[in-house]
Amino acid sequence: MTTNQLTQAIISGINAGGEQFLEGTLAAALPIIWLAILGLQLGRPYILDMIDRFTLRLGADLLWLIYVALRDLLIVSGVVMSFMFFFPDVVTTDQLPLTGGLAAVCLFGVLLVKLVGDPDHNLRDFRIVSGLLGLGSIFYFVPYVLGVQANAVTQGSWAAVSMFLVTNSNPSWAVGIGYVSIALMAILGAIAAGYTLVTGGRAEAQEPASK
């Protein structure tokens, strides 16, 4: 082996290892993000109950704004970190949950409902958001727990199911679901862009008569 060959081998190792480490870190952080999003969404009554107990309007405003900012930034982070599910090379190489791309679409759908509707004051919109979060968490956690985290210990027919739920052991489905997810994301993104172009970035949702 020449010095140059060894140099190139080390460079390849650094880059490939670094990329897989980055993607692995994102994949490991996503369940935590999902749980935090679900916790904040389901914890809304607790926050509202606490706001009622504030004697100062300032404290109530700040608590509500911090809650909304944290909850929505986590959803945005979830969408951003789920971008790897749309890359065919990544899903065929790494062990990722099969329907992770569809979970990302659900998260993006939540953002779209927040953009065009008013889930904090409109019950129908709130139900849609909660439903999308529930569906997204099923899309993420079922293949993650039963596939990615169980494929080394399952046996028999369960092992086949487990392998089916992991992207790199089921690449044809993974790439297909990836393309479906990309198409859905493109449609939702086009709706969001169209909405903001029509409204010119103004808040157009009708104010509810009573809170």
* Interacting positions 181-200 with other proteins (CB under 8 A): 182, 189, 192-193, 195-197, 199-200
Kindly report the backbone phi and psi dihedral angles of residue 117, in degrees, each rounded to the nearest multiple of 5, phi listed first: -120, -155
State the Cα–Cα distance between residues 195 and 199, nearest whole angstrom.
6
Closer by beta carbon to other proteins, 152 or else 207: 207
- Of the residues 76, 145, 183, 187, which one makes contact with other proteins according to CB under 8 A: 76
| 78 SS3 class | helix
What is the b/e burial string over 14-53, where b = at least 16 CB atoms within 10 angstroms of the residue's CB? eeeeeeeeebeebbeebbebbebbbebbeebeeeeeeeee
* Interacting positions 99-158 with other proteins (CB under 8 A): 111, 114-115, 118, 120
Cβ distance 132 to 79 under 8 Å?
Answer: no
Q: Is 19 near other proteins (CB under 8 A)?
A: yes
- Of the residues 65, 70, 183, 187, which one makes contact with other proteins according to CB under 8 A: 65
| Angle between helical axes of 57-81 and 3-42 (0-180°, round to 10) | 140
Q: Is 1 near other proteins (CB under 8 A)?
A: yes
Token representation of residue 33: 């993000």
Query: Which residues bind to other proteins, rule: CB under 8 A?
Result: 1, 3-4, 6-8, 10-11, 14-15, 18-19, 22, 57-58, 60-62, 65, 68-69, 72, 76, 79-81, 83, 86-90, 92-93, 111, 114-115, 118, 120, 171, 175, 182, 189, 192-193, 195-197, 199-205, 207
